[in-house]
Amino acid sequence: MTRTAALAFGLLLLLPCSGLHARTVYECLRDERLSLSTAPEPGARCKAKRVNDRKAKVPNFWGDLGPVRGNLYTTRMNGRVVYSTRAIPGWKEVAEPVKIHAPRDSWAHEGLGEFGAPQLNVFAAQFTAAAKRNGVEDAWLRAIAHAESGFDPRALSPKGAQGLMQLMPALSREYGVSDPYSSTQSIDGAARHIRSLMRRYKGDLVLVAAAYNAGVGAVERYGGVPPYAETEAYVEKVQALVERYRSALQKPVRRARRS
């Protein structure tokens, strides 16, 4: 066993079995060498390990392990970016001085707090109605609004995207949105656009998010999520937000007690 493998193995022994805010990383063995990965590695025997991010002193992929020194490699599996400490054929080495953090849905991710808490009371009736009318998920509509404009119906991007859902003028015309700064029209137009994208990509919500951000043309040109830093970050952000809104919308509403 190599020195690096021995070090990785020793560090893995410190992993807790569970935690209040835990996620899964993988200890993978191949060719008598251990590695750490955010997903099971092809051709390796991998064991899932629960990592407590809440106790991580430094934001990093490996939670309680602390920073893992050495090279890091990345690829995309099932629409998700994954990382490993093993040099795997076809995977790209993460070049310095790129600073790597934990996944965006992890407590160890230093930018997680920037997302803010789910906002369920902002344009609630419009989101509910548009979701039901167009057969799209309410959590997805709210996640897009959260990521795109922070629920600002007067938002205008440098590229010309307008309103709550940041529709480009061409999309507004396509979906009959006469006033892009009307929250009701913007949400309904976005819901119809998302429904169209879901049909095009057969329900692949990673590609739906990528196309919403970069456009259908870019997704078709690259055969998947375009290799734009902005789009890759956007897709991960929307995925994290969708899970937050799903959880928030499933919680029962507390009713005030009557005396």
d(CA 236, CA 81): 9
Burial 65-101 (b: 16+ CB within 10 A, else e): beebeeebbbbeeeeeebbbbbebeebeeeeeeeeee
- Residue of 148, 220, 236, 243 marked catalytic: 148
Question: The tokens of 110 are what?
Answer: 């230093």
- The most distant pair of C-alpha atoms in the chain lies apart, rounded to whole Å, by 69
Residue 148 annotated among the catalytic residues of the structure:
yes
Cis geometry, peptide bond prior to residue 97 (ω within 30 degrees of 0): yes
Contacts of 246 (CB under 8 A, 6+ apart): 137, 139
Task: Give the SS3 label for residue 73.
Answer: strand
Contacts of 3 (CB under 8 A, 6+ apart): none
d(CA 227, CA 193): 23
186 closest CA partner among 169, 172, 170 = 172
Catalytic residue numbers read 148
